[in-house]
Structure 1
Amino acid sequence: MSKTDNKNCNGWISTSDALPPLKTRVLIVESGAGRSTIRIAKLLGQAQSGAWYWSAQDTASKVTHWQPLPQIPEL
């Protein structure tokens, strides 16, 4: 997926195109074991292996996309 294609993904950004700022809560899409899941997580850092790790990532899945959390509505 190219950066141009991201415009057609309802705000989802491919992790191959860009990563969120460290320790900022975002929505993530995890894919693995034949399913995809959306969670709130933070990008925590990079392991010595070069892999990135997330606060809520299932070890059997891969984070493929992310997007900023929406603003809280005014009440």
Structure 2
Amino acid sequence: MGHPAQHPHIVVHAPALDGSRRVTEGEVTLGLASHLDDVVEILRLADLDRIEVEEDDLIEWQGGGPEDWPGLSEHEV
């Protein structure tokens, strides 16, 4: 009866100059990520950890997908 459950609209923005990517839900900035694990942690802290970060269509990846982290090239493990 009525509207379906409102899904959060998560956006991982294009990388900044330092390689970090802003994570937002609507107009709210949830955090800055410099690695995929950071996105997972930011969503967990926002109580959105039921979202599968790499597969879920609730997340809009701008300027590159889950594997695009330009800042990581400097940090060889």
Shared fold, TM over 0.5 = no
TM-score by length of 1: 0.29
Query: Greater share of strand residues, 1 or 2?
Result: 1
Q: Which has the higher helix share?
A: 2
